[in-house]
């Protein structure tokens, strides 16, 4: 873990959850190939401006710090790299990518994100609660406490599947970079509608998939609280294959 002040002085990386700021998690493949790096960095800066953070570095400075940090990471590992831009510092940290494609059990979390389009470190009651789970096999399914809609998870977007039909939420969620890039592949292979199911409606779906930086495409095994469990993996297999095609394309690892 490394962190720097606005003036470039190194400091101890603070605990992000509960501090005001923004973050994004990037997938670093072997040989330090980063998936959709420019999109992640641009989103951090755009969100920083929206939240009116006192310090917003340039895209080039952010990229320079990222490259500096990468030199200290092994080149033969698949990793997740988190960038946090807080009010008074920039922090980088990395961990092994161990949840990619793994089956997930969903746990309901009644919660309403104050600004769904921004990954805000101040949301301690959401991101801080991930420490209560084994992230490789568990996730919080965010359920709106008023209308009981299932919009996303703490780490991923959701894809609800029945036969060749996909229902993908698009309102009041974080539009994940992985899903944004995957959508053209999905549109060529599936019938897609946009909407958000409520808790009592999920029995209509055979499969629910998680789509995000760390999980890639992963199958949701069950949500015990709602009596739902997956019925087959046909759509998971198809979409996972499309995901693998996407991340091996030249466009996925373009530099700035």
Residues 87 and 164 in one domain: no
Show the domain range for 90. 2-97
Bridge partner residues of 61 (DSSP):
none
Q: Angle between the 37-50 and 59-70 helix axes, to the nearest 10 degrees?
A: 130
Taking CA atoms, 195 is separated from 151, 153, 162, 167, 255, in Å, by 9, 15, 14, 6, 34
pLDDT for residue 126: 97
Phi, psi dihedrals of residue 15, rounded to the nearest 5°: -70, 120
Residues 11 and 92 in one domain: yes
Residues 119 and 77 in one domain: no
Whole-model pTM: value is 0.95
Task: Please report whether residue 256 resides in a domain.
Answer: no
C-alpha of 101 from chain center? 13
Among the three residues 77, 97, 117, which one is the final residue of a domain in this structure? 97
Residues 69 and 169 in one domain: no
CATH number at residue 79: 3.30.470.10
Among the three residues 63, 97, 131, which one is the final residue of a domain in this structure? 97
Residues 167 and 61 in one domain: no
pLDDT for residue 256: 77
pLDDT for residue 1: 80
Instruction: Annotate 40-56 with DSSP letters as a single string.
Output: HHHHHHHHHHHTT-S--
pLDDT for residue 202: 94
C-alpha of 225 from chain center? 23
Among the three residues 81, 97, 113, which one is the final residue of a domain in this structure? 97
Query: 61 by DSSP, 3-state: which?
Result: helix
Nearest to 173 by CA among 155, 193, 199: 155
Judged against a pLDDT cut of 90, whether residue 70 lies above it is answered with yes
Residues 115 and 236 in one domain: yes
Task: Please report whether residue 16 resides in a domain.
Answer: yes
Residues 195 and 115 in one domain: yes
Would the CA dihedral through 159, 169, 177, 92 be positive or negative? Answer: negative
Task: Please report whether residue 240 resides in a domain.
Answer: yes
Task: Please report whether residue 255 resides in a domain.
Answer: no
Task: Please report whether residue 56 resides in a domain.
Answer: yes
Q: How many domains does the chain have?
A: 2
Rounded distance, CA 52 to CA 46, Å? 10
pLDDT (tens digit, 9 = 90+) per residue, 149-201?
999 999 999 999 999 999 999 999 999 999 999 999 999 999 999 999 999 89
Contacts 24+ apart (CB under 8 A), 130-139: 130/154, 130/155, 133/107, 135/98, 135/99, 135/214, 136/98, 136/99, 136/102, 137/99, 137/102, 137/103, 137/104, 137/105, 138/104, 138/105, 138/106, 138/107, 139/104, 139/105, 139/106, 139/107, 139/210, 139/215
Mean pLDDT of the chain: 95
Residues 110 and 89 in one domain: no
Task: Please report whether residue 176 resides in a domain.
Answer: yes
Residues 29 and 126 in one domain: no
- In the block, residue with structure tokens 């944004």: 180
pLDDT for residue 255: 76
Residues 91 and 34 in one domain: yes
Give the DSSP H or E segment for 156.
none
Residues 70 and 167 in one domain: no
Residues 71 and 111 in one domain: no
């Amino acid at each position: 873990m490394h962190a720097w002040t606005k003036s470039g002085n190194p400091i101890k990386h603070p605990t992000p959850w509960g501090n005001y700021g923004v973050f994004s998690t990037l997938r670093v493949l072997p040989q330090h190939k980063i998936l959709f790096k420019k999109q992640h960095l641009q989103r951090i800066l755009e969100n920083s401006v929206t939240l009116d953070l006192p310090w917003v570095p340039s895209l080039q400075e952010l990229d320079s710090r990222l490259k500096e940090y990468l030199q200290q990471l092994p080149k033969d590992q698949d990793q997740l790299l988190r960038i946090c831009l807080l009010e008074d510092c920039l922090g980088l940290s990395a961990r092994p990518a161990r949840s990619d494609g793994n089956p997930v059990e969903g746990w309901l979390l009644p919660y309403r994100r104050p600004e769904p389009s921004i990954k805000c470190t101040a949301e301690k009651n959401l991101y801080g609660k991930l420490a209560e789970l084994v992230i490789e096999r568990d996730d919080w399914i965010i359920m709106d406490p008023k209308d009981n809609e299932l919009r996303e998870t703490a780490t991923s977007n959701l894809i609800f599947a029945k036969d060749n039909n996909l229902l993908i939420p698009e309102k009041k969620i974080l539009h994940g970079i992985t899903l944004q890039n995957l959508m053209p592949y999905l549109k060529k292979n599936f019938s897609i509608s946009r909407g958000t199911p409520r808790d009592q409606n999920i029995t209509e779906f055979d499969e629910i998939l998680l789509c995000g930086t760390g999980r890639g495409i992963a199958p949701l095994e069950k949500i015990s609280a709602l009596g739902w469990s997956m019925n087959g993996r046909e759509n998971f297999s198809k979409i996972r294959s499309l995901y693998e095609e996407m991340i091996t394309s030249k466009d996925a690892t373009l530099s700035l």
